[in-house]
Amino acid sequence: IKNNNPFKKLNDEIFVYVAKKQKEIDELKRLEQFRREFLADVSHELKTPIFAAQGFIHTLIDGAVDDEFVRDKFLAKAARSLDGLDALVKDLVALSQLETGEIRMHLERVDIYQITLEIFEQLENIAEAKGITLRIKSSLQRSDVIRADVARLGAARPDAARTDLQGPVWVMADPQRITQVMTNLIENGIKYGNDAGKVVVSFADDKKHISISVRDDGPGIAPEHLSRIFERFYRVEKSRSKERGGTGLGLAIVKHILNAHKSKITVMSKPDKGTMFRFKLEKAVETEL
Ligand code: ADP
């Protein structure tokens, strides 16, 4: 009787249908909740630089403009706030596109070693201002890696003194996005690292992957904050992060980009010893040798 019951089949179908619809409703609710929270966070974050710039400009209009010293100071401060706003809007656009899956990754064969050197060059000034040394280290197993004679190359090429390895290191990645990941991590190392410290990018490998780590010897991150630093707008010390030009979105963007590369980032940190971020990318086969 059981098997021939025509209502049983219908009942099962209805049950499956209802469960499916319920899942869709839950997903919509989750998205709606996310959207509401995101909007609240964003408007809060946007207000800060806007209010600051407005304050300086209105004070100038109200007469402060006549004092040359105050004028220059306030104009510089207003410009800084607007630069912060610009960085925030750029990060927000990137993050929202990543979160909604709008950005497609274009995976290709990229030389992560070269990308790192280029980022070092771009961040040279802010590193130098803090007396921070930027280095590349390698523990690659590959036989084709030519170890640079640091002293010899150091004399010929200033770059080479920074590295115990000559590239390339080929990985499969979206070049633009992986540049953003590396920039955010290296920049954080410089921003939050100690004066006269070091930021070191290391490459290691196994059969299929290149493991990339970025570490500093700065003050580190306390364990209670460690699991939260990848959340958008989460900052360990709000004022210190903002003062250093942070948007609070850097690591959230890093996490999403790596996610889209099917990679996960891990962080290890010891107070007063430093912080290390690490992730893996798929090796790209070397075709030209
Ligand atoms: P921000 O724009 O504020 O730098 P991030 O998302 O890049 O935002 O980082 C989130 C927070 O994690 C930072 O505000 C900072 O408190 C902490 N943090 C990130 N990287 C480091 C690091 N290398 N050393 C110490 N703290 C760090």
- Which ligand 1 atom lies nearest to the CA of residue 242? 3
Across the strands, what pairs with 200?
135, 215
% of the chain exceeding 70 in pLDDT: 87
| pLDDT, tens digit (0-9, with 9 covering 90-100), for 47-91 | 999 999 999 999 999 999 999 999 999 999 999 999 999 999 999
Q: By alpha-carbon position, which residue is closest to atom 8 of ligand 1?
A: 248
261 CA to centre of ligand 1 in angstroms:
22
**What pLDDT sits at residue 278?**
98
Tokens of residue 219, six digits? 């003050």
- What pTM was computed for the model? 0.81
Q: Over 60: is that where the pLDDT of 229 sits?
A: yes
ipTM of the modeled complex = 0.98
Task: State how far the Cα of 262 lies from the Cα of 63, in Å rounded to an integer.
Answer: 56
Cβ(197) to ligand 1 under 6 A? no
**What pLDDT sits at residue 144?**
44
Q: Over 70: is that where the pLDDT of 151 sits?
A: no
| pLDDT, tens digit (0-9, with 9 covering 90-100), for 89-100 | 999 999 988 888
More confident residue, 124 or 96: 124
**What pLDDT sits at residue 179?**
97
Cβ(45) to ligand 1 under 6 A? no
Q: By alpha-carbon position, which residue is closest to atom 23 of ligand 1?
A: 189
Task: Tell me what the pLDDT averaged over the chain comes to.
Answer: 88
**What pLDDT sits at residue 87?**
92
Q: What is the DSSP letter of 283?
A: B
DSSP class per residue in 33-98 = HHHHHHHHHHHHHHHHHHHHHHHHHHHHHTTGGGSHHHHHHHHHHHHHHHHHHHHHHHHHHHHHHH
185 CA to centre of ligand 1 in angstroms:
9
